[in-house]
Structure 1
């Protein structure tokens, strides 16, 4: 596993999947599922290295590695088949219409699910956001494919996050949400909810398309510089959102320019000197949902107060001009339907004359 400081977003349980996503192979495998002509089964899905898994029938007992996969399944209408999750969504993390159902899902691990518990869960499908990364606690690793097979568990990935940190992942910065949309389609095909998946993808594309149309006249050199300040990662060393991370796509689609898009990773520990040198026009105060509106607002207030009082950041352009975007980590750095909403919220903040109603 990468050093804990690089995985600062692990401070927010629901966020750890993306911060530490590290796939089990390389390559740029297709993320779309190949279903039978009639739209049923079998369904073929690939991992990060392009190795295919054949899903012969609709899964009845699903375990998810973290909140990202869980939320996707809830939105697809397959939540009643989820029998357990790791890295459960924190209080207030899921949207209100999903919160009650999400809270009923058994928690198999507050962080990564222990290997023995996962293999003994009775699941027939494991939706993996992480890929082949060491489990929490050191040298132990997750189950191998032979162990999954012996337990009767088929193993599929959210490729948009599981592959992002692999050495052979696409080098170019991520600038769209196609990978997240493909993950939704893949899970839709696997769970027999393909029609619902298309509805979700269409909704995302409509919201993003509206922003794209509104910003069509903004030239590249007029995009404001944007920095995601992950307050929950700590303030000693900032954790930069790099080009491979889904947040880079969110920022780009919103008509801004991620000042750390050039680092070839998903996340990278940096220094305040790096931030000062890039002097962003806007800073996102990125905090996890604290469970109540009051507590979350206080976290945003604390993040802003730090930047205003810290000697290295108090003179930054964004700080001096009060150019802060208060937007939760969950909708920015975790793959999901709400990434499209984050695009609009950021665009409404940085281009208020062109994009309205960011909420």
Structure 2
């Protein structure tokens, strides 16, 4: 997610966001034909492809893994491969990981508070690099990262989370993302390359169960009656809002929850818009999307600040959602980045905007 990362790093150092390179997906699969090929669960070699479809062959399960950020780290922890993670960038804030994996996640060495410096990554001793972002040209030298040749020379294989790394580039597939198939494929892809394919299928199955329950509960709500929904990326800054567009993971989350992303007509993953654009959309609900600050108290303060801004800013004071107090306090990470908890976010949103149809935690 190019714009989001650049704005976030400039405005809130050490708070992470997603990025993109080239290629992408739409409403189903990864949209590029770039996937994972394995003879059977846990079998090697495994072929994985990047955003452009270029394949890499993983010949054996990696022993030392580095992740760009907490998203890849959490996925590996949930897959049962956390004991092989030797470093991460954009580390998870305290309390941001699920309780079952939080202790193990806290022991993972932090190689960079934001992006991992190239020298640290290449010298980490890793044999696999799990990358949520891909290259970020707009970040200059800091966002370039190691080249494929440099990674290869260091003995590090490179695996992208395609659902986020490939969503907004020039080769992205056409059409909106309306399901979490690409996220689920990322889970399967990491399961395949780490030899934890059986666990990956369990995680995907649990996601499917939650999503199908919500879809069935809200199936009778006509499209015209689905509430307008705006994800307010508070950490991207308040001068110019950053809209979640049709190709971002969050668009699928919002759609599956039975709501209507007011910027779904934007053919990108993220795009800067104006407050006049937001006013014209006049959403029924606004998600106060903030990144984890490291404690419940700090998170609550950030949510309070985001809400206070919308209530005090002249351009947004009259919005329907603001007038009616229709705010959702849901973190950015579990909405906009690949992970099994995106399915939980679907339920959380649905339970808020359709309380008579979906019960929280049901």
Cα distance, 1:94 vs structure 2: 1.4
Contact 1:9 1:230 in 2 (8 A): no
Indicate yes or no: 2:113 matched with 1:113.
no
Contact 2:227 2:353 in 1 (8 A): yes
1:43-65 deviations in Å (ceiling 9; x for gaps):
11111111111111110011111
Indicate yes or no: 2:128 matched with 1:125.
yes
Distance 1:135 1:125 in 2: 25
The structure 1 segments of at least 4 consecutive aligned residues displaced by more than 4 Å after TM superposition are: 1-6, 24-27
Contact 1:14 1:89 in 2 (8 A): no
Cα distance, 1:247 vs structure 2: 0.5
Q: What is the match of residue 232 of structure 1?
A: 235
Indicate yes or no: 2:33 matched with 1:30.
yes
- RMSD, aligned α-carbons: 2.2
* Helix, strand or coil at the partner of 1:7: helix
1:127-175 deviations in Å (ceiling 9; x for gaps):
1111122385647722222221111111111100110121110221111
Contact 1:6 1:239 in 2 (8 A): no
TM-score w.r.t. length of structure 2:
0.93
Q: What is the match of residue 342 of structure 1?
A: 345
* Structure 1 runs not aligned, ≥5 long: none
Q: What is the match of residue 21 of structure 1?
A: 20
Indicate yes or no: 2:149 matched with 1:146.
yes
* Helix, strand or coil at the partner of 1:15: coil
Indicate yes or no: 2:321 matched with 1:322.
no
Cα distance, 1:289 vs structure 2: 2.3
Distance 1:177 1:206 in 2: 12
Q: What is the match of residue 197 of structure 1?
A: 200
Count of residue correspondences: 357
Cα distance, 1:295 vs structure 2: 2.5
Cα distance, 1:329 vs structure 2: 1.1
1:226-265 deviations in Å (ceiling 9; x for gaps):
0011112221111111111100000000000000111121
Indicate yes or no: 2:7 matched with 1:7.
yes
**Residues 159-198 of structure 1: matches in 2 within 5 Å?**
159-198=162-201
* Structure 2 runs not aligned, ≥5 long: none
Distance 1:246 1:206 in 2: 18
Q: What is the match of residue 261 of structure 2?
A: 258
**Are residues 40 and 4 of structure 1, via their aligned partners in 2, closer, same or farther at CA, if it must alter by over 3 Å?**
closer
Distance 2:172 2:321 in 1: 32
Cα distance, 1:90 vs structure 2: 2.0
Distance 2:236 2:299 in 1: 16
Q: What is the match of residue 45 of structure 1?
A: 48
Cα distance, 1:271 vs structure 2: 1.1
